[in-house]
C-alpha cells in the first residue's frame, strides 16, 4: 500500500531506474548530483509550492515568488553549492499584471543577490502552483546527509522555531506586534548559500531545516548510520518564543516545526575555529547543539534526558 | 499589460537576468542549453501538465504518466539530443495505490525505452498537476529554431492532425471505432528521440509540433528571420481525417491542431538522401512539405495559394 510520500519514493526506487553512470546522488538527498566533467558536478533540486501547505492568502505575490525560490535555493545551500540556473513552471488562475510583476520582483530579489539566471519554464492556467527547478555547481566538496562521523560536532545556523511560531500566531490579534517581528522568518527566509559554500570545504554532512530539526537530524543519523546527542537548551531561538508559545508546545515549535531553512551540519572538532570565523564573517550565529554518537538519537534539556516523539510533516497524513 | 504567455516571457526577459557565461540558449526554444565542458552541453526542459488543457478524465493514470513524460521528451528530441535524467514534481488530490502504480508504469514505459534515470522530485497534495524536468545531452550538434537557411527543404516526421482529430471525436458515439484507431496519437504520442539524434548531424533547425504546425513553423521562420512556402497537400495525415472532419475544419485540424509531437525540421537539399535512409531505418515517413524562402510564410494547396489565419494555442486566451 502507498500511504505516505516515503511510500511513493520507495515504490519509485523499486520499480524505476533511478541511477546511471554519471549520477553521483539520486533520490534521497536535498538535491541530485550528476558529474559533468573532472571535479565538476551539478546539483539539481525541484520543488512545488502550493497555496495551503507552502504559503497562505496572507502572503503577498512578492512573498510567494521570494519564498518559493528561497526554499529551493536552501536545498542548494544544503549541498554546499552555488546556484546558477533556475526554471520556473508557474500555474496561475488568471493573468493579472500586478500579481505577475510583484511575483517576479520576489524572484528577482534572489536572482540578483546570488547572480542566478532564469533560463526556462512555462506558464499555465490552473490552481496556483509554483514548481521551481534550480541547478547549482560545486565550488569545493558537495555535502550530503550521509557523511557524519562519530564524535563530530553538530551545528545549526541562525535561530530555530521562529517560522513555526509566526505561523501559529498568524491572524491572532493580541500578537499582532509579535507577528510583525517574526513574519520575516516565515515569509522571507534567507537561503544560507554563502555559509553552505564556506563550510563545504570541511563539513562532513549537511541538511537544511525544512521539516523541523528533529526530522532533519533523524535523516542525517539514519543516512550516516550513527546516533546523536542533542542539547535542546543550546538551540538558539528568538526571545519572543518563550513569551508567546505555551510551554507544553515549546519543544514542538522549536524542534518539530519546519520551515526555518537554516543549515544543520556536522564537522570534526578540529574545525571549530574555522566555523567561528565563518560565523563572524557573515554576522550569523553558528551554534554547536550536539554531538554525533554511535547509535540512538537522544535529546537533553539542561543535562536531563528528555523523550521526544515528534512526527515530521507528511503532505498526505491527516 | 500582461495578457498572454508571451507577455509573461517578455516581462521576464526585460526584468530578470536570463543568461550567464555558460548559457548557450536561454528562454525561447524547446529547451535551454548550458555548456558544461568542451563539446559537452546539457539541454533542459520543464513543463507542467494539468487536467483540462493537457489531459482529460478519459485518460487512464498510465496514459497521464506516459503523456506528461512523452511531451517533455519531445522537447529534447526537438533539440536533437539524448534524454538522460528526469525530475518529477507530482501534485495529486490523494494517495491511491493503484493510481500511483499505474501512473508510474506510464513513466517507466518511456524511461525503459530511452534508458533514462528518474533522479529527483517531490510529491504534494493538491489539484492534479504534473511538472517534469528532463535533462538531455548532445550526441552531435544541438538543433535550434533559428538555423533555417534560404532554400532549405522543410520536413515533417509521421502524420499530422491525428491527435486533434481524436480530441474532436472524444466521446462522440458514432465515431467510437474511429476514436479507437486515433486515440493513440492523442494519449500516447511517441517522442521522436532517435530521429532527432540522427538528423542532428546535419539539420539546420528543428521544432516539435506541439502547438500546431502553423504556429511552430511560424516560430522557426521568425527565429531564423526567413519565410517559407508550405504545400498543405503534401502534409501526411491519417486517411480517416477526410472522413470524420468537416471540410471547413480540415485546415484547422491538420495545421492548426497541436499535440502531434512530430518533428518539423529544415535541411539543405544535399541531405535528402540521408533523410530517406533515416526514414527507412526507423520505418517512419519523413516527408518534405515545403521550402524556406526569403520572407513571408505562404501556404499552397495543390499549387493554389491559400490564406491561413490560425491562432496558436495560448493558455490564457478565452
Q: Which residue of A has its CA nearest to B127?
A: A127
- Provide the pLDDT for residue A310: 61
CA distance B238 to chain A (A): 30
Look at the block and give the residue holding cell 501538465: B49
Is A12 close to B104, i.e. CB distance below 8 A?
yes
Number of domains making up chain B: 2
- Domain assignment present for A11: no
Q: Give the integer Cα–Cα distance in Å for B77 and A122.
A: 18
Summarize the confidence of residues B21-50 as an average pLDDT.
93
| pLDDT tens digits along B226-266 | 999 999 999 999 999 999 999 889 998 999 877 899 999 99
In a shared domain, residues A192 and A271? yes
In a shared domain, residues A300 and A162? yes
Torsion of CA A68, A69, A70, A76, to 10 degrees: 120
E strand or H helix at B298: strand B297-301
In a shared domain, residues B76 and B165? no
- Chain A residues closer than 8 Å to B127 by CB: 126-127, 129
- Domain assignment present for B261: yes
Local structure of residue B270 (DSSP, 8 states): G
- Domain assignment present for B144: no
* Residue A132 β-bridge partners: A47, A88
Q: Is the model's pLDDT at B317 over the cut of 70?
A: no
- Provide the pLDDT for residue A110: 98
Q: What is the separation, in whole angstroms, between the first and last Cα of chain B?
A: 16
Is A122 close to B37, i.e. CB distance below 8 A?
no
Nearest Cα residue to A68 out of A114, A118, A103: A103
**What pTM was computed for the model?**
0.93
Q: Give the integer Cα–Cα distance in Å for A290 and A252.
A: 18
- Domain assignment present for A7: no
- Domain assignment present for B313: no
Number of residue pairs across A and B with CB atoms under 8 Å?
Answer: 228
- Chain B residues closer than 8 Å to A15 by CB: 104, 108
Model confidence band, residue B277 (pLDDT cutoffs 50, 70, 90) = very high
Chunked mean pLDDT (size 10), chain A, 318 residues? 90 95 91 94 94 87 97 97 96 94 98 97 91 96 97 98 94 94 96 98 96 91 96 96 92 88 98 98 98 94 87 59
- Chain A residues closer than 8 Å to B85 by CB: 20, 23, 32, 34, 44
In a shared domain, residues B84 and B189? no
Summarize the confidence of residues B169-188 as an average pLDDT.
95
CA distance A96 to chain B (A): 7
Nearest Cα residue to A227 out of A292, A300, A288: A292
Nearest Cα residue to A96 out of B49, B203, B4: B4
Look at the block and give the residue holding cell 512523452: B70
The residue from B107, B138, B169 where one domain ends is B138
Q: Give the integer Cα–Cα distance in Å for A118 and A290.
A: 39
Is A104 close to B47, i.e. CB distance below 8 A?
no
* Structure-block grid coordinates of residue B35: 555548456
Q: Is the model's pLDDT at B101 over the cut of 90?
A: yes
* Residue B37 β-bridge partners: B40
In a shared domain, residues B158 and B275? yes
CATH of the domain at B293: 3.90.650.10
- Chain A residues closer than 8 Å to B26 by CB: 117-120
- Domain assignment present for A101: yes
The residue from A88, A106, A138 where one domain ends is A138
Nearest Cα residue to A295 out of A229, A227, A230, A228: A227
Local structure of residue B210 (DSSP, 8 states): S
In a shared domain, residues A296 and A159? yes
- Provide the pLDDT for residue B311: 58
Which residues, 6+ apart, have CB-to-CB distance to A68 below 8 Å?
A: A47, A49, A54, A55, A130, A132
- Domain assignment present for B188: yes
Q: Give the integer Cα–Cα distance in Å for B116 and B94.
A: 27
Instruction: Taking each helix axis as running N to C, give the angle between helix B61-78 and helix B176-187, from 0 to 180 degrees, rounded to the nearest 10.
Output: 50
Q: Give the integer Cα–Cα distance in Å for A115 and A108.
A: 10
How does DSSP assign B10-74, residue by residue?
HHHHHHS----TTEEE-SSSSSEEEEEETTEEEEEEEEEEEBTTTB-TTS-HHHHHHHHHHHHHH
CATH of the domain at B33: 3.30.1330.10
Which residues, 6+ apart, have CB-to-CB distance to A220 below 8 Å?
A: A145, A148, A205, A207, A228, A264, A266
CB nearest A46 (choices: B4, B117, B120): B120
Q: Determine how many CB atoms are found less than 10 A away from the CB of residue B71.
A: 22
CA distance A71 to chain B (A): 13
Global ipTM = 0.90
In a shared domain, residues A49 and A174? no
- Domain assignment present for A313: no
CA distance B203 to chain A (A): 24
- Provide the pLDDT for residue A43: 97
In a shared domain, residues B174 and B279? yes
Which residues, 6+ apart, have CB-to-CB distance to A187 below 8 Å?
A: A55, A59, A63, A66, A67, A166
The residue from B138, B170, B198 where one domain ends is B138
In a shared domain, residues A157 and A302? yes
In a shared domain, residues A92 and A194? no
- Chain A residues closer than 8 Å to B34 by CB: 85, 119, 135
Nearest Cα residue to A218 out of A268, A259, A267, A256: A256
In a shared domain, residues B120 and B181? no
Q: Is the model's pLDDT at B11 over the cut of 70?
A: yes
Which range of residues forms the domain containing residue A246? 153-306
CB nearest B27 (choices: A46, A52, A120): A120
Is A46 close to B89, i.e. CB distance below 8 A?
yes
In a shared domain, residues B109 and B251? no
Amino acid at each position: 500500500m502507498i500511504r505516505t510520500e516515503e511510500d511513493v519514493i520507495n515504490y519509485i526506487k523499486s520499480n524505476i531506474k533511478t541511477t546511471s553512470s554519471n549520477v553521483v546522488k539520486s533520490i534521497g538527498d536535498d538535491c541530485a548530483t550528476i558529474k559533468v566533467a573532472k571535479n565538476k558536478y551539478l546539483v539539481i533540486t525541484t520543488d512545488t509550492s502550493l497555496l495551503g501547505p507552502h504559503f497562505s492568502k496572507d502572503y503577498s505575490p512578492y512573498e510567494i515568488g521570494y519564498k518559493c525560490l528561497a526554499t529551493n535555493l536552501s536545498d542548494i545551500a544544503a549541498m554546499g553549492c552555488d546556484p546558477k540556473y533556475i526554471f520556473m513552471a508557474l500555474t496561475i488562475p488568471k493573468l493579472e499584471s500586478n500579481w505577475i510583476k510583484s511575483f517576479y520582483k520576489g524572484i528577482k530579489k534572489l536572482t540578483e543577490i546570488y547572480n542566478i539566471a532564469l533560463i526556462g519554464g512555462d506558464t499555465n492556467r490552473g490552481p496556483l502552483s509554483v514548481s521551481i527547478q534550480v541547478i547549482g555547481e560545486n565550488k569545493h566538496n558537495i555535502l550530503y546527509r550521509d557523511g557524519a562521523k562519530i564524535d563530530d560536532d553538530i551545528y545549526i545556523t541562525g535561530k530555530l522555531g521562529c517560522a513555526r511560531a509566526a505561523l501559529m500566531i498568524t491572524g491572532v490579534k493580541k500578537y499582532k506586534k509579535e507577528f510583525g517581528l517574526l513574519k520575516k522568518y516565515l515569509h522571507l527566509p534567507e537561503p544560507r548559500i554563502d555559509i553552505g559554500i564556506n563550510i563545504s570545504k570541511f563539513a562532513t554532512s549537511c541538511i537544511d531545516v525544512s521539516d523541523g530539526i528533529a526530522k532533519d537530524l533523524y535523516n542525517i543519523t539514519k543516512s550516516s548510520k550513527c546516533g546523536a546527542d542533542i542539547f535542546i537548551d543550546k538551540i538558539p531561538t528568538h526571545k519572543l518564543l518563550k513569551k508567546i508559545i505555551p510551554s507544553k508546545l515549546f519543544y514542538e515549535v522549536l524542534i518539530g516545526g519546519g520551515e526555518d531553512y537554516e543549515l544543520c551540519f556536522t564537522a570534526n572538532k578540529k574545525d571549530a575555529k574555522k566555523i567561528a570565523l565563518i560565523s563572524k564573517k557573515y554576522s550569523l550565529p553558528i551554534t554547536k547543539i550536539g554531538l554525533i554518537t554511535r547509535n540512538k538519537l537522544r535529546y537533553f534539556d539542561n543535562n536531563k534526558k528528555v523523550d521526544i516523539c515528534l512526527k515530521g510533516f507528511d503532505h498526505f497524513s491527516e
